[in-house]
A and B are shown apart, each in its own frame.
Chain A
Amino acid sequence: MNIMAQVGDISDSHGEKAVARRTVYVYQAPVRVWHWLNALCMVTLFVTGYLIASPPESVTGEAYDHFQMGYIRFAHFAAGQSMAALFLLRIYWAFVGNAHASQIFYVPVWRAAFWRGVLHEIRWYAFLEKYPKQYVGHNPLAHLMMFGVFTLGTLFMIVTGFALYSEGAGRESWQYKIFGWVFSLFPNSQDVHTLHHLGMWALVTFTFLHIYAAVREDIMSRQSMISSMISGERQFRDEEA
């Protein structure tokens, strides 16, 4: 653990002593850049995806004057393919980055300590624990959520998304060659549309919980959350330290 040098007897102009706090560098620059670009892609995909299924009120006039659905779908496809490319870079970074970079890609189900940690976090969220525990990376429950809903969910959306894209791109397209197997599982692509749509709502739900948990733990858990994803550093607020 790369604990930075503690701040000593530094005083500000009012003579008030600065509090010594431990800081750990957790989120490397590529992870942070990925996080925010991915967030932007997701929001774009939510909005345009919803509009593709339920288009806005019809435009009037001649068809050749408008390209509304065309632009909405373009934004969706552009954001989706960006997200997929970023996801690939993120997987690459899981191998070459620091230990925390690979955390969202696996769950240590074989470790009893992990499950005890999950239980502790559930009790913490159910107001049954008085004190939160501190973790350098994700806490075990967040870790489980990240992998189970975000990572698998994103993978599912990328796979079904490219499969649906291949319907327009055609049978000769690389999208169909790589992702066409989805239609062996679901011969009627209407089913794939429905599942892709449900996947969107799962990720919308995830986003809400993710933001809530980040804000709440930033306040409650004696450690930084939101600023960590900007600076990369996690600060632990332990007054006794």
Chain B
Amino acid sequence: MAVAETFYEVIRRQGITRRSFTKFCSLTAASMGLGATGAAKVAQALETKPRVPVIWMHGLECTCCSESFIRSAHPLVKDVVLSMISLDYDDTIMAAAGFQADAILKETREKYKGQYILAVEGNPPLNEGGMFCIDGGRPFVEKLKEMAADASAVIAWGACASWGCVQAAKPNPTQATPIDKVITDKPIIKVPGCPPIAEVMTGVVTFITTFGRLPELDRQGRPQMFYSQRIHDKCYRRPHFDAGQFVEQWDDENARQGRCLYKMGCKGPTTYNACSTVRWNNGVSFPIQSGHGCIGCSEDGFWDKGPFYKRLSNIHPFGIEANADKVGMAVVGAVGVGVAAHAAITAVTRVTVKHDDKAPPKA
């Protein structure tokens, strides 16, 4: 375990040039919106600060966060990030296994008490005493609580750790629970998405290691710099939305023209993420650019807010296919029929019973 080495020493040792290093610093500073002096700050921090130990744990998940992370776009990011955060434990990609791997957890807890960052991918299922996710012979939730107790901060990677994701979909048989419901005494940063964008993940890590604190978080605990705007706000198809030009069917001319996918259930207007600006796979594309609406994978409960291909969400208490319009129209219709019937009875009563605007007879 490298103790006194700085990021910069590690980077240089791995054969990365100073030029590439400064390039990375400016790109990272720009992506975090740090301004003109940001690059120098990032460079200075990486040159002088010792690497932050990171423990990366996997609960109930699909490893798509790790898959996204290792595809971080700028060529240097992969090298730098894997080096700069002294990644001491990650059971998916580490060489050690079994008792050897568990020993690292113990060692980190003792050696870096209160200093290491706990990154959590996936979440603990709490039902049946946590038996639905066994890690190293015991429930994952126990291991999670243990490692969180001595961490300085916790990163919740992806929709699983942040919100629960598909394993928490109704009726949530394993009682999969987002980690902020389990760890309540540590600062938690949520980096939702299924998976989160690689550059967002590395950006968050770089910020924490550079400034030694969590970035500014929003109401839901997400970093403001990546999650303060909707996909819709920066979507390149937005002009078609404002003009009133929509894809009406998947195979129509509007779809070929690349028009707005709002009517096809795009969740861009309710999804906070950086996809429409940062995009994916080295900025190649993102779902809407590929002709498919956003499914809102970085939003709480997106798995239960179906259908993906309709604008209005289903409202389950009123039947599997009901939405706000169907419920509303049914109620208005019923009231309309009721009013008509009531008016008819009123009219009949008025004709048959003598009224003459009389007050009730005085007793």
Residue of B nearest to A236 (CB): B359
Residues on the B chain within 8 Å of A171, using CB: 218, 224, 228
Residues on the A chain within 8 Å of B245, using CB: 58-60, 63, 66
Is A65 an interface position by the 8 A CB rule?
yes
Query: Per-residue CB proximity of B102-136 to A under 8 Å, as 1/0?
Result: 00000000000000000000000000000000000
Residues on the B chain within 8 Å of A54, using CB: 311-312, 325
In the complex, the answer to whether A238 meets B359 with C-beta atoms within 8 Å is yes
Residues on the B chain within 8 Å of A17, using CB: none
Is B300 an interface position by the 8 A CB rule?
yes
- Give Cα A240–Cα B315 distance, bound, in whole angstroms: 55
Residues on the A chain within 8 Å of B269, using CB: 167
Q: Report if A58-B244 is in contact (Cβ < 8 Å); known contacts: A187-B220, A187-B299.
A: yes
The stretch that binds B, out of A94-102, A154-162, A198-206, is A198-206
Interface residues of B in 220-248 (CB under 8 A from A): 220, 224, 228-230, 233, 239-246, 248
Residues on the A chain within 8 Å of B328, using CB: 197-198, 200-202, 204-205
Is A110 an interface position by the 8 A CB rule?
no
Instruction: Return B336 CB to nearest CB of chain A, in Å.
Output: 6
Chain A contact residues, majority secondary structure: helix
In the complex, the answer to whether B332 meets A240 with C-beta atoms within 8 Å is no
In the complex, the answer to whether B243 meets A68 with C-beta atoms within 8 Å is yes
Is B339 an interface position by the 8 A CB rule?
yes
Query: Per-residue CB proximity of A35-55 to B under 8 Å, as 1/0?
Result: 000000000000000100111
Is A56 an interface position by the 8 A CB rule?
yes
In the complex, the answer to whether A184 meets B219 with C-beta atoms within 8 Å is yes
Is B296 an interface position by the 8 A CB rule?
yes
- Give Cα A204–Cα B183 distance, bound, in whole angstroms: 45
In the complex, the answer to whether B357 meets A53 with C-beta atoms within 8 Å is no
Residues on the A chain within 8 Å of B327, using CB: 198, 201
Query: Per-residue CB proximity of A175-212 to B under 8 Å, as 1/0?
Result: 00000110110011111011001101110110011001
Is B277 an interface position by the 8 A CB rule?
no
In the complex, the answer to whether A197 meets B312 with C-beta atoms within 8 Å is yes
Q: Report if A168-B312 is in contact (Cβ < 8 Å); known contacts: A53-B325, A201-B332, A208-B332.
A: no
Instruction: Return A217 CB to nearest CB of chain B, in Å.
Output: 10
Q: Report if A201-B324 is in contact (Cβ < 8 Å); known contacts: A67-B242, A68-B243.
A: yes
Interface residues of A in 99-151 (CB under 8 A from B): 125, 127, 130-131
Q: Which of A130, A180, A201, A241 contacts B331 (CB 8 A)?
A: A201
A69-B241, A188-B296 given; 20 more Cβ-contact pairs under 8 Å: A55-B244, A66-B245, A69-B242, A127-B349, A167-B269, A183-B219, A189-B299, A190-B302, A190-B313, A191-B301, A193-B270, A194-B315, A197-B325, A202-B331, A204-B332, A208-B332, A209-B339, A219-B350, A220-B346, A222-B357
